[in-house]
Amino acid sequence: MQKDTVDSGAPWWKFGHVWMVFGGPAIVVVASFITLYLAVTRPDPVVSEDYYQKGIDINQTLDAANAASLAPALQARNHAATGVQPTAKAVNKP
């Protein structure tokens, strides 16, 4: 019995499937070095001591702006539901 073997004589790097097998992990290794470089050269910014208070202040500012923009809608809705005209005091209320 004789085995039929096909020997193309080409080096291993000339086969496409070899590059598929080694290419994925090689790309991951290169990407990890790029990530390491970026992590070392660009440190995270320092968070200020009063970050929580700044967040509360921003939310209060946004809530005030939102409430002011909803005032005409609330007055119109209440006028339509009750049939009573809003007074000047209610219209100019902050």
pLDDT in tens, the chain (94 residues): 566 666 678 888 888 888 899 999 999 999 999 999 999 999 888 888 888 888 888 888 877 777 666 666 656 665 555 656 656 555 555 5
Token readout for 38 is: 């970026």
Please tell me the predicted confidence (pLDDT) of residue 32: 98
Please tell me the predicted confidence (pLDDT) of residue 74: 59
**pTM for this structure?**
0.43
Q: Can you tell me the distance from the alpha carbon of 84 to that of 86, in angstroms, rounded to the nearest whole number? A: 6
The amino acid present at 23, given as its one-letter code, is G
What is residue 44's DSSP assignment? P
Please tell me the predicted confidence (pLDDT) of residue 27: 97
